[in-house]
């Protein structure tokens, strides 16, 4: 098996569309954001929209002056919520180059939220023809895993946090060594770089890696940094930064580390929201970065341009998504070319 990196050529991106029964604050603003995300993705590659009702989804778009691009496909399925990164399938290449999707258990980030419908989305859309005929379906149950909890260089190294993958109500019946072995087998890994520190206030996921540190190439990691000692996130993020400095590539060299600023604090009813520029989405020819509505957006985009010199950096205002305690990468799932 081989788990490809996100910067490899993609076939399409999945969005799971919100509706009034999904857990969103100010749904209208969230739908505004989803339309902007859909527009941005289809400038670079096709889009699959999973929704409970296609006509309802198209009406949401029409109400915002958007006519769906020709390369948007719609597949209907029951949904609890819309975090495609975590309930979506994870794509792997088999040992002979076979195209496969792996369907893990999604249990609402350790039984925090209802996920009985979301846990069935991958199987349902596979049966409905979401993927090419030669894509194999691999049932990985009972192992619990969310796509946002892992990040890879595509060459056998995985980034993940111990806090998430070893947390209660996920795979607590396994030791860390057993979890590591299952991940290696599932993804054809040589090693896992366990991030032992880091976290952002307001995060429900037990420190998903996709808000903390991301591979941008086999030797480059972009990460969330905090330089304000008065910020509650300062200590954990500084400790993570020091650990990232200690990591080495498979060739024994230090990683090129690119710090991304921590967005200015954003609140909803006195609750600090987990904003992170590390929650970017790589697409064919571009990187879509979640904007937080401040001058720091431009600084973060400049840092990401260093990591992706040959790609366009696009900023999308994603503050509405933070009301659900997530971001741009969290609502999307990418699939390789040919899937």
DSSP annotation of 69 reads: P
Is 330 annotated as catalytic? yes
Length of the chain: 339
> Sign (positive/negative) of CA torsion 96, 99, 105, 109?
positive
Count of Cβ atoms closer than 10 Å to residue 154 Cβ: 16
Exposed e or buried b per residue across 130-149, where buried means at least 16 C-beta atoms within 10 angstroms of its C-beta: bbeeebeebebeeebbbbbb
Q: List Cα–Cα distances, 38 to 10, 74, 276, in angstroms.
A: 16, 12, 20
**Is the backbone peptide bond immediately before 300 cis, with ω within 30 degrees of 0?**
no
Cα separation, 295 vs 315, whole angstroms: 12
- Which of the residues are catalytic? 330
């Amino acid at each position: 098996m081989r788990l490809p990196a996100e910067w490899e050529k993609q076939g399409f991106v999945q969005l799971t569309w919100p509706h009034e029964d999904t857990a969103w604050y100010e749904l209208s603003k969230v739908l505004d954001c989803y339309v902007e995300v859909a527009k941005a993705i289809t400038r670079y590659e096709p889009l699959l929209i999973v929704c409970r009702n296609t006509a309802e989804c198209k009406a949401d778009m029409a109400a915002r002056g958007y006519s769906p691009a020709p390369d948007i496909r719609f597949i209907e399925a029951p949904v609890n919520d819309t975090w495609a990164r975590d309930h979506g399938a994870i794509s792997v290449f088999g040992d002979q180059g076979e195209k496969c999707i792996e369907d893990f258990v999604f249990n609402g980030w350790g039984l925090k939220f209802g996920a009985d419908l979301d846990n069935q989305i991958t199987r349902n859309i596979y049966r409905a023809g979401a993927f090419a005929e030669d894509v194999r379906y691999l049932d990985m149950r009972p192992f619990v895993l969310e796509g946002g909890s892992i990040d890879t260089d595509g060459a056998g190294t995985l980034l993940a946090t111990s806090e998430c993958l070893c947390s209660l109500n996920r795979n607590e019946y396994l030791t860390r060594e057993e979890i590591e072995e299952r991940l290696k087998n599932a993804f054809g890994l040589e090693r896992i770089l366990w991030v032992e520190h880091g976290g952002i206030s307001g995060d429900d996921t037990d420190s998903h890696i996709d808000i903390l540190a991301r591979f941008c190439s086999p030797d480059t990691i972009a990460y969330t940094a905090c330089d304000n000692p008065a910020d509650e996130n300062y200590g954990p993020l500084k400790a993570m930064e020091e650990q990232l400095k200690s990591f080495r590539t498979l060739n024994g060299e230090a990683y090129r580390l690119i710090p991304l600023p921590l967005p200015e604090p954003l609140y909803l009813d006195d609750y600090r929201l987990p904003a992170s520029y590390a929650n970017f989405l790589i697409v064919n020819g571009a990187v879509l970065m979640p904007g937080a509505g401040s001058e720091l957006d431009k600084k973060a985009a400049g840092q990401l341009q260093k990591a992706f010199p040959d790609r366009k950096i696009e900023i999308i205002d994603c503050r509405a998504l933070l009301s659900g305690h997530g971001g741009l990468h969290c609502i999307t799932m990418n699939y390789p070319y040919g899937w």
